[in-house]
Every structure is written in structure tokens, then in C-alpha cells.
Structure 1
Amino acid sequence: MSTSSSGSVHAAGSGFAPARLGASRPARPAQLDPALVNQIAGGVDPEQLSDLAHSTAASLLDRVHHTEDPEVVRRVLTLVDMEGVDLVAELWSHAEPDSLPGILWRLYMLRTWMTRDRESISRLWRMGEPVATAASAIAGVDQAPTEDDIARTADSILSGAFTGDFAVALERASAFCDVIVAGIAAEAKRRNAYLEHRTDGHAQRAAIARMLHHAASLRQSAEDFRHGAILWRRGKLE
């Protein structure tokens, strides 16, 4: 995640953000207007970029809501995979978390992170949600999810944002982040207990500090998703 004053998914460079995908993406994006890409490559002023962010986010969401073509849904779902994070980041990563492009950016980063780190995330879920609770039901995750369950949930949350109730998708994303935060806290507590009487654990303590920093970022992301759901229901997420 890139830097942001909100400290959310948008800002967690070491946690949520996918690895840079390089220049292997197709020259012509499947979902974005080539003229728009040329504008970005040539540089635009911040106000123009903000306008582009809002218009492309709204257009993409509207297009998928009004299509019955599963291929369109698949292409939008894998937008970051196909086009590379750099292009999408150029459009949306600087948008505020209480805006449509800002929330869509966070949803895409959540999916990318869940897909990439599904093994560790499934373990953290089991630590954060040892028994089924309301969060399990909201997020749509089993009590003991496998790696494949995490990947399916990632796709389900993002596709639900485009094809279902957008606010519900944001609430699912928020609940998911909450459980992972609890899992990180449990893991940090376990590691701290192990290191309590040791004097040679500097690297481990640094790792714990990074974990807790990541948890704080995810906690803010959960708040951003919850607030986005409220704004969407009020017709104020633009």
C-alpha cells in the first residue's frame, strides 16, 4: 500500500499492497480507455487526475451492474492482475477513503493481498475467530478456512461489490479485516510470551512490531469500509 494520511489499506505498503507486476501487462488495457491511459502516461494535473479517478470508478461500477456477461465481470475482477497495479494505482490510489475510487482501490488491494498471502491469512483467521461469530457470518468465511477458501472469499467480496449490494460487500470486507486484526493480536501475544524471558530476540521483537503496525493499518481499513458502506446507503459515496 502506498502512503496515505488515513493509514488504511491504501497506506500499508508492507502488508496489503501486491508486489509490483512489472511491464508484462498488455499494452492496451481491457477495461480502461486507451486515450485515458495515454493521458496518464503523459501526466495530468492533480485536479484532472481526481476527476478521472471518480469518473472511471463510477463508469466501471455502472457497467458491471448493467451487464449479464460473466466475462465482463471476470475481467473487472482481475483488473489489477491483468493490467498491473501501477496503472490502477495511478488512477485510484490517491483518492480519499471516503470516495468511490478510494474504496474501490482498497477493495482491489484487499483481494490482491488475500489471494497472494492466503496461507498465512487462513492461519490468522483461525487464531482471530476460533469460534464462529457474527463476523464469520458477515464475511462469509468458515470457522476454519483453507487457503482456497480465502481466495474464494476474496473474489466473492470484490465481485459482490460490482454485481450485488455494494454496501454489503464493504461490510464483508470490514468484518474480514476485523478478524485478521484479532488474529494478528493473538499471534503477537503468543510470540511476546515466548520472548518474555529471552534477551536474544531482537529480530523477533522487530517482526512483532511490524505485525502490530500492519494490524493498525488493517483496523483503519475496516473503519474505511464500514464508513464507505454508510456513505453508499446514504447516496454520498462518489
Structure 2
Amino acid sequence: MSTNSSAYGSSSVRAAGSGFAASGRFTRPAQLDPALVEHLAGGVDPQRLSEISHTTAASLLDRVHHTQDPQVVERVLTLVEHEGVDLVAELWSEGDPDSLPGVLWRLYMLRTWMHRNRESISRLWRVGEPVAGVSSAIAGVDQAPTAEDIARTADSILSGAFVGDFAVALERASAFCSVISAGLMAEARRRQERAAELGESAANTGAAHFVKTAKSLHGTATDFLKGAKLWREGRLE
């Protein structure tokens, strides 16, 4: 497999938007209450921002759960593309991984990452799936997904969080990250073994980058799984 490590960047989907281009333009998403975000452009104190973060996350999730309008679902699904990652980051990126805004931020960043790296991720899935056990079945992805399959899965996971069982969507996201993490680790080992055969330095193979990204994705998987548990217990706020 000829996976290009540079395709993933140096950041993970856990990071607050690093690796993703911010537009530098402040806009207000039409589906959010204007009163909740009117002060964001000019700055707001951390406590107030935390309150806005939790309120907007809960409001958006509740609103979509109570509508059958596919256009509303589509607007929420593509919030990052239409409103800019900078605004979404300002709203939710500081949220703890065991909070609703923190979980939603990670879901949006996972979708963005999957769309932008769909071809490389589809190859990594084929490597990680045989060793990932039950995770591949939970994620709901074929054994040999195409790049288009990866993009559809990204949309399915995020939309499922809004119109389906939120905990199930988080479990799917967790399982997906686990499989890709396994694929990255397998690729790192392959590169290290290849370097040893050729008498080269493993540092020049990019293996360390794969290991770093794999560990980060494993952490993201843990975050999602914890979020699912808290949601079922009614403690994800």
C-alpha cells in the first residue's frame, strides 16, 4: 500500500481546527438563535462563551431531532462548509470531550477529515479492518470501501447523531477511528520492517508520523465511546 503520510497533516480530529483552513470571516449560522451568538465576533468572556457553547449545541441537536425537513438536516450536516470552521471552532472547540459541544466539535471535524482524505482513508481501512475485530461491523463500512463510501459514511455518522440515536452515532464514530488507527499502526510496522530490510533509518520512512496519528485517533475513539456512555446515562451536557 502506498499511503502518503502527508495526506493526514500533523494534527488530529481532536485538535481545535488545526490542519483545517479557517476562512477568517465571521458569519452567523441561520439555524442558530441570533441572541446566542451575537457577541462572538467582538469577543466574550470564557464563562459566557461556555454557556453559549452548551446552549447552542443542545439547541441545534434538539431542533433537528424534532424536524423531518431534509433541507434542515442538510444545512446542519454541512455547517462547516457553509459557515466556516472558524465559527464552529469558536462555538465548540474548547468544549471538553465529555461535553455535548466537545463531542459535536469532534464529530464535525471527523466528517471534514474523512471527506478531505477519503482516498487514503479507504486504503487504510482495508489494512486495519482485518485486525480491528468487531469495530468494523459497528462502523458499518464494507471490507473494501471506495473513497465515495468513506464520504458517505462520514455523512451517515454525523447525520445519524442528529436524526437517529446519538449514542449509536458516537459508537460508530469510535469504531471507525479504531479501525483507521489499526490501519495506521499496521502501515507504520510495514514501513519499519521495510527500512530494516534495506538497512535504512526508520525515521526516514514516515513511520513515526503514522504512529502519532494512530495514537491520536485511538484517543478520539475513546472520547466518542465515553460520550456515548454519558449520553445513555443522561450525563452528557
**Mapping for residues 68-217 of structure 1, pairs under 5 Å:** 68-130=68-130, 133-196=133-196, 197-199=198-200, 202-204=203-205, 207-217=206-216
After superposition, give the CA deviation of every residue in 1:68-121 in whole Å (9 maximum; x if it has no partner): 100000000000111110000001000100000000000000000011100000
Does 1:9 find its partner at 2:13? yes
Contact map agreement 1:111 1:155 (CA 8 A) in 2: yes
**Partner Cα separation in structure 2 for residue 152 and residue 104 of structure 1:** 18
| Matching residue's letter, 2:43 | G
Contact map agreement 2:36 2:56 (CA 8 A) in 1: no
1:133, CA displacement in angstroms?
4.5
Contact map agreement 1:53 1:95 (CA 8 A) in 2: yes
| Matching residue's letter, 1:219 | H
1:34, CA displacement in angstroms?
3.8
2:21 corresponding residue in structure 1 = 20
**Partner Cα separation in structure 1 for residue 94 and residue 46 of structure 2:** 10
1:135, CA displacement in angstroms?
1.8
Contact map agreement 1:157 1:173 (CA 8 A) in 2: yes
**Partner Cα separation in structure 1 for residue 13 and residue 235 of structure 2:** 21
Kindly tell me: are residues 200 and 214 of structure 1, through their superposed partners in 2, closer, same or farther at Cα, counting changes over 3 Å? closer
**Partner Cα separation in structure 2 for residue 8 and residue 202 of structure 1:** 20
1:21, CA displacement in angstroms?
4.2
1:212, CA displacement in angstroms?
1.0
**Partner Cα separation in structure 1 for residue 109 and residue 147 of structure 2:** 18
1:59 corresponding residue in structure 2 = 59
Contact map agreement 1:9 1:220 (CA 8 A) in 2: no
2:6 corresponding residue in structure 1 = none
**Partner Cα separation in structure 2 for residue 106 and residue 176 of structure 1:** 13
Contact map agreement 1:30 1:75 (CA 8 A) in 2: no
Kindly tell me: are residues 88 and 213 of structure 1, through their superposed partners in 2, closer, same or farther at Cα, counting changes over 3 Å? same
| Matching residue's letter, 1:86 | D
Kindly tell me: are residues 225 and 137 of structure 1, through their superposed partners in 2, closer, same or farther at Cα, counting changes over 3 Å? same
The runs of 5 or more residues in structure 2 that have no matched partner are 1-10
What secondary structure sits across from 1:88 in the alignment?
helix
Kindly tell me: are residues 131 and 96 of structure 1, through their superposed partners in 2, closer, same or farther at Cα, counting changes over 3 Å? closer
**Partner Cα separation in structure 1 for residue 51 and residue 25 of structure 2:** 28
Q: Percent identity?
A: 67
Kindly tell me: are residues 103 and 116 of structure 1, through their superposed partners in 2, closer, same or farther at Cα, counting changes over 3 Å? same
Contact map agreement 1:21 1:84 (CA 8 A) in 2: yes
**Partner Cα separation in structure 2 for residue 175 and residue 202 of structure 1:** 29
TM-score, scaled relative to structure 1: 0.88
**Partner Cα separation in structure 2 for residue 18 and residue 153 of structure 1:** 21
TM-score, scaled relative to structure 2: 0.89
1:198, CA displacement in angstroms?
2.7
Kindly tell me: are residues 231 and 225 of structure 1, through their superposed partners in 2, closer, same or farther at Cα, counting changes over 3 Å? same
